[in-house]
Amino acid sequence: MESFLASRSVRSSFAAAAAAAAGTGGCFPRPSRVATRARARARPLRAGPKDSIPEVLAQDDMLNATELVQWENGKSVNDIAASQGIRIRRHCHPTASLKEIEEELGAPRNILEKIIWDKEIEVAEGLAKKPLKVVIEAAAEAPPTRDFYGTLEAAYKRNGVPALIAEVKKASPSRGVLRENFNPVEIAKAYEKNGAACLSILTDEKYFQGSFENLVKVRTSGVECPLLCKEFVIDKWQIYNARSKGADAILLIAAVLPDLDIKYFLRICKELGMTALIEVHDEREMERVLNINGVKLIGINNRSLETFVVDTSNTKMLLEKHGDSIREKGILVVGESGLFTPYDVAYVQNAGVSAVLVGESLVKQEDPGRAIAGLFGKELLD
Ligand SMILES: O=P(O)(O)OC[C@@H](O)[C@@H](O)c1c[nH]c2ccccc12
């Protein structure tokens, strides 16, 4: 089989890169795009009304920032990621079968890597159906964003307990189906009525039984809370697509994305008026993210996406170490996953979080709206 993989040895010449790209459409940029990329760097990105769509973005349908660096310095995407401590590898070959991919890379090392390998194929299919230009136009035509970050900040100040991001979550790979009788709009309305500041809508279908249809349904149901699109983002196409469906915020996972992609995606979010929630799980990821300018919202996930182990003391440990620099930078922290009781909420609040992201413990209860008062030990509304 043609050796297409990102972990393969350095290709030093343009011709080699071009040959690789021609065969794969994958990790090495297509040569015709190179000149366009140079212009991309010289010009600021703008995503405004239709007629101001940057030419470069509209044409350039496969590249993210890290891929460009890969081309420029001959290092593969996976080399760049590994040098930052990222353990998740990309296969960079969306048209290959899983069998072919596994022949080259072996089986996925963990569930997160498996999800990302599937996501690479899914995004390529999405791009083929709806080119980047089309989603950029659709995003420009979407109703304005609601202020996700500002809403969290205001709710925290108002209530004195962490602001709630309540998650509309049907299932997860670690817990299976959480709620059989799942009506996303009913759940979203119950959350809003009982004091959730913002909502998180899972859109991954294969592993979480979520959908973009759910995101659109909630957005058009009269619910006013700002919405987080809970996705595994690996490509800018997904950000424009999420905005076009009404998302106000998007998750970026540091365990998956090299620094340069986080920076690039943050910039796209800013231009679209979206909030980026940057998720970290360990010391190294926290340090990387704190070195990136423009980060305003960090989520500390108590659950490892690689092993599923949940440990709320993770939030405490990371904030003991980095709390000062987080406060200095005015960053707001979200405590994510595994929160079930008022004790859990108080514990992460004492550790320094201003918001919590909660799915399972609400969605599993008969009445997910009423469950909010149970989680906080008090009603969130006056
Ligand atoms: O259901 P829980 O344990 O309350 O967790 C919610 C949320 O934190 C979790 O769904 C989550 C956090 N980060 C993620 C990234 C991808 C998918 C899911 C997640």
User: Where would I find the H helices in the chain?
Assistant: 14-24, 34-42, 55-59, 65-73, 77-83, 98-105, 111-129, 132-141, 148-159, 184-193, 212-219, 236-244, 259-272, 283-290, 313-328, 342-351, 360-363, 370-376
Q: Are 151 and 225 within 8 A, CB to CB?
A: yes
SS3 279: strand
Residue type, 218: V
- Is 129 one of the annotated active-site residues of the chain? no
- Is 350 one of the annotated active-site residues of the chain? no
- Determine the pLDDT at residue 43: 34
Residues flanking ligand 1, CB < 6 Å: 167, 169, 230, 279, 301, 336-339, 357-361
100 in any annotated domain: yes
Does residue 86 share a domain with residue 195?
Answer: no
| pLDDT in 10s for each residue of the chain, 382 residues | 333 343 333 233 333 333 333 333 335 433 334 333 433 333 333 333 333 334 444 445 557 887 777 766 778 889 999 999 999 999 988 888 888 899 989 999 999 999 999 999 999 999 999 999 999 999 999 999 999 999 999 999 999 999 999 999 999 999 999 999 999 999 999 999 999 999 999 999 999 999 999 999 999 999 999 999 999 999 999 999 999 999 999 999 999 999 999 999 999 999 999 999 999 999 999 999 999 999 999 999 999 988 899 999 999 999 999 999 999 999 999 999 999 999 999 999 999 999 999 999 999 999 999 999 999 999 998 5
Does residue 196 share a domain with residue 118?
Answer: no
Of 67, 122, 153, 279, the catalytic one is 279
Q: What is the pTM of this model?
A: 0.86
60 in any annotated domain: yes
9 in any annotated domain: no
- Is 67 one of the annotated active-site residues of the chain? no
CA nearest neighbour of 1 among 114, 105, 134? 105
- Determine the pLDDT at residue 284: 97
Q: How far apart, in whole angstroms, are the C-alpha atoms of residue 276 and residue 271?
A: 11
Q: Angle 39-40-43 (CA atoms, 0-180°, nearest 5)?
A: 85
The range of the structural domain enclosing residue 321 comes to 148-376
Does residue 191 share a domain with residue 136?
Answer: no
Assigned token pair, 236: 């800018």
Does residue 311 share a domain with residue 202?
Answer: yes
Query: Which atom of ligand 1 is closest in space to residue 175's alpha carbon?
Result: 1
Residue 363 CA to ligand 1 centre (angstroms) = 12
382 in any annotated domain: no
Residue 309 CA to ligand 1 centre (angstroms) = 12
CA nearest neighbour of 93 among 178, 201, 211, 1? 1
- Is 169 one of the annotated active-site residues of the chain? yes
Of 194, 301, 302, 314, the catalytic one is 301
Q: How far is CA 179 from CA 107, 129, 203, 361, in A?
A: 31, 32, 16, 11
Q: Which residues contact 323 (CB under 8 A, 6 or more apart)?
A: 352
Strand partners, 171: 177
129 in any annotated domain: yes
Does residue 120 share a domain with residue 180?
Answer: no
Number of independent structural domains in the chain: 2
Query: Which atom of ligand 1 is closest in space to residue 208's alpha carbon?
Result: 17
Does residue 157 share a domain with residue 136?
Answer: no
- Determine the pLDDT at residue 9: 31
Does residue 94 share a domain with residue 163?
Answer: no
CATH of the domain at 245: 3.20.20.70
- Determine the pLDDT at residue 382: 55
- Label residues 191-208 b or e (16+ Cβ within 10 Å = b): bbebbbbbbbbbbbeebb
- Is 2 one of the annotated active-site residues of the chain? no
Please state the ipTM of this predicted complex.
0.99
- Last residue within a domain, chosen from 106, 124, 141: 141
- Is 336 one of the annotated active-site residues of the chain? yes
Residue 215 CA to ligand 1 centre (angstroms) = 16
- Last residue within a domain, chosen from 98, 115, 141: 141
Does residue 186 share a domain with residue 321?
Answer: yes
SS3 297: strand
Pick from 116, 164, 165, 167 the residue to mutate for probing ligand 1's pocket: most ligand atoms within 8 Å of its CB. 167
CA nearest neighbour of 34 among 44, 23, 21, 45? 21
- Last residue within a domain, chosen from 100, 121, 141: 141
Does residue 137 share a domain with residue 153?
Answer: no
310 in any annotated domain: yes
- Is 337 one of the annotated active-site residues of the chain? yes
Does residue 362 share a domain with residue 220?
Answer: yes
235 in any annotated domain: yes
Residue 232 CA to ligand 1 centre (angstroms) = 11
Residue 197 CA to ligand 1 centre (angstroms) = 17
Does residue 209 share a domain with residue 108?
Answer: no
Does residue 108 share a domain with residue 33?
Answer: yes
Q: How far is CA 295 from CA 266, 275, 279, 298, 351, in A?
A: 8, 9, 11, 7, 20
6 in any annotated domain: no
